[in-house]
Amino acid sequence: MSIRRSAISAAIIAAAAVGLVGCSTTGSVHMDGSRSELYDSVQGISADSSLVAAVEVTGQEVLAASSDRDIPYTLSTVSLISTFAPTGLARELPEGVTATAAKPGNQIVVRQMGTAEMETPAPILKTGEKYLLFLTPSMLEGEAASQYYVTGGSAGVFEAPDDVASRGSDLAFTHGPYDEGDTLPETLTIKDLAP
C-alpha cells in the first residue's frame, strides 16, 4: 500500500511541476528542451536537412496552445531568396512527404515551437529579417504537411546580411551565439554551402 501511495504522490508532484514549468515572478515564460543530435559540421546538419535557403520573413502567425497542442507555435511565412545544396544535403524526403517548390521567389512556412514573447532555446524568426536556414519537412498531416521545421533548433539559424540578394562570393552568414551545445562555424560563406 505504501508503494502505491508513494507512486500516487510522485505523480501528483510531477503533475504540479509540469504545471509550473515556464512560470516566473517576472511574467516571462521560459521553455527548455533537449535534442538528440548536436551538430559540429555543415555536412552533419545538411545530412538532416532537405532544404538550405537564404530567406526573408514576410509574415507571421501564432498558433495558441490548445487542448490538442500543449504549447504555442509561431508560423513564419518566408520568401526564398536563394537555395543551396551543400555536400551531404539530404536528397530524399521521407515517404509521404512531397517537396515544396523550393525555388527563389517562392514562399514556404517555417514552424517553430514558442513565440517571440517566450524565452526559447532557439531564436524565433523576426518579420522583415533575413536568414540562412537549414530546414526539414514538418512530417505533419493536412495543411501543416507543407511546412518546415528548422533543423536542430538554433543550429539551423544563421543571420544573413540585408543585401543577401545582391552579394556575390563574399556573402557570409553568421551563427549565434547560441548555447544549445552545437559547435558549428560562427560564419558560413558561399564556398561552405557549395556541393
- Reference 122, options 89, 158, 91; nearest CA is 158
9-13, 170-174, 181-185: range with lowest mean pLDDT: 9-13
CATH of domain 35-193: 2.40.50
Alpha-carbon distance 79 to 127, whole Å? Answer: 11
Which residues have CB under 8 Å from 155's CB, separation 6+?
A: 38, 39, 45, 134, 178, 180, 182, 184
Sheet strands (E) in the chain: 29-30, 51-63, 73-84, 107-113, 118-119, 130-137, 148-150, 157-159, 172-175, 187-189
pLDDT in tens, 153-171: 899 999 988 887 777 777 8
pLDDT in tens, 12-70: 333 333 343 444 444 444 444 445 789 999 999 999 999 999 999 999 999 998 877 78
pTM for this prediction:
0.77
pLDDT in tens, 81-92: 999 988 888 866
Cβ contact 195:52 at 8 Å: no
